[in-house]
Amino acid sequence: MADEHSRMYGLEYPSPELPSGEEQSITLVVALEGYADAGQAVAGAARHLLAALDNRLVASFNLDELIDYRSRRPTTTLDRSSVTDVEDISLELHVLRDTKGTPFLLLTGPEPDLKWNSFIDAVAGLAEKFHVTQTVCLYAAPMTVPHTRPLVVTAHGNSAELVGDAVRFPGQIAVPGAAALQLERHLGRKGKKVAGFTAHVPHYVAASPYPEAMRKLLERVAQAGQLELPLLALSKDEQRVAEQLAEQTADSLEIQQVVGALERQYDEEVAKYRQMGALPESGSAEQIPSSEEIGDEFERFLAALDEGRGGKSEDGKGGEAGPGEPDGGQNEGDGNPEDSGDADGGDDDDQR
């Protein structure tokens, strides 16, 4: 097993010294790209943490062992008939310190295509080595919800302490598997505390960065890990995107009709759950979708990703163009709900 791990990743030297679990809780944040990353919320949240906080590389995974490059072809640049650049793809474990100096770990990069069991064993071994006491996994799913209502973050996990006051998944749900989900099961079976948080992103802005989803995921990370994270830049990006969407909505009767229909559906669901006593009368209203709705949206989103994996890395920009988005990508912050139906579409990013 040690030999398998040596092929799977390389450790930086010297390794950072982290407190033992008895001295201080150490949180591992798992933010893998490519599975459920609507609005690029997972990748954007990870980028924001690395840009905003002091950090140090701990381990680099060997992508030749884990990635099928034919399904995740790196973007290659040709200039004056010569190949001048190839996109760098990395799957890494970093140690970061929040604004108080509290250390935590961040695993970020593309979800492996291959050797999931070996990868999960390796991550669990690193978690043991660096005294991880709890693990938080991040996801983002496209849902038929309007951008004009509070963004929902649902939670699952084996620790009420980590899940906190987040809305839990109702009943039983079946979704396509993921390396992060299997890591949750593996760690849970070893008696470790784990939780997963899923941001519900409006489906018509799912193809471009959506900073509200990034911010709300990181708020859950901060609460679960008792961390202080700088989120002001994301809040500013969020406000800019909201203004852009408001302008686009005001300029189009068709967009107004689509958003209005989603608002009515959202409000009806909130009223229903309040009657059931599942939601308080005060505070932000959050729609709780059914298990079937969540599963169906995951299936459609992943199918769209699979269709587009031949040309771009799996960051939500591949595949068919979403509403308001020309083929081949979308400029930052140009999300548009027009012609939305049940498609996936786009919005904006972060820094410190």
Inform me whether the pLDDT recorded for 255 exceeds 60: yes
Residue type, 174: A
Q: Which residue has the higher pLDDT, 174 or 4?
A: 174
Whether the Cβ atoms of residue 53 and residue 320 lie closer than 8 Å to each other: no
Lowest mean pLDDT among 178-192, 223-237, 264-278, 330-344: 330-344
Average pLDDT, the chain: 81
Q: For residue 112, which phi and psi values (nearest 5 degrees)?
A: -60, 145
Peptide bond into 14 cis (omega under 30): yes
Paired strand residues for 107: 30, 93
- pLDDT tens digits, 105-123: 999 999 999 999 999 999 9
DSSP per-residue codes, 133-153:
-EEEEEEEEEES--TTSPPPE
Give me 53's structure tokens: 């906080």
Higher-confidence residue: 309 or 132?
Answer: 132
Report the alpha-carbon distance of residue 147 to residue 337 in Å, rounded: 9
pLDDT band at residue 316, thresholds of 50, 70 and 90? very low
For residue 307, give the DSSP letter: H
What is the per-residue pLDDT for 234? 94
Which DSSP symbol is given to 76?
E
User: Is residue 306 very low, low, confident or very high in pLDDT (cuts 50, 70, 90)?
Assistant: low
pLDDT more than 70, % of the chain: 74
Residue 320 reports pLDDT greater than 60? no
The alpha helices in the chain, defined as continuous H runs, are: 2-8, 41-52, 63-66, 116-129, 160-163, 179-189, 211-225, 232-250, 253-275, 291-307
Over residues 280-300, the pLDDT tens digits come to: 444 444 445 554 554 455 555
Question: What does the block give as tokens for 125?
Answer: 């071994």
More confident residue, 324 or 176: 176
With cut-offs at 50, 70 and 90, classify the pLDDT of residue 77.
Answer: very high
Among 13-22, 58-67, 272-281, 322-331, top mean pLDDT goes to: 58-67
Q: How far is CA 63 from CA 114, 178, 342, in A?
A: 10, 17, 35
Q: What angle do CA 50, 184, 189 make, to 5 degrees?
A: 140
Report d(CA 28, CA 94) in Å as an integer: 10
The residue ranking higher by pLDDT, 179 or 147, is 179
Q: pLDDT per residue over 128-173, tens digit each? A: 999 999 999 999 999 888 888 889 899 999 999 999 988 886 678 8
Q: Is the model's pLDDT at 311 over the cut of 50?
A: no
45 vs 265, higher pLDDT: 45
Task: Output the pLDDT for position 304.
Answer: 54
Confidence of residue 175 (pLDDT cuts 50, 70, 90): confident
Token representation of residue 268 = 């009806």
> Span 177-196, mean pLDDT?
96
pLDDT higher than threshold 50 for residue 337: no
Range of the domain at 163: 1-352
Give the residue with greater pLDDT, 182 vs 18. 182
Give the residues across from 33 on adjacent strands.
Answer: 110
> Of 207, 202, 201, 200, nearest to 322 (Cα)?
207
The torsion angles phi and psi of 263, rounded to 5 degrees, stand at -65, -45
Number of independent structural domains in the chain: 1
CATH number, position 272: 3.40.50.10900
Confidence of residue 26 (pLDDT cuts 50, 70, 90): very high
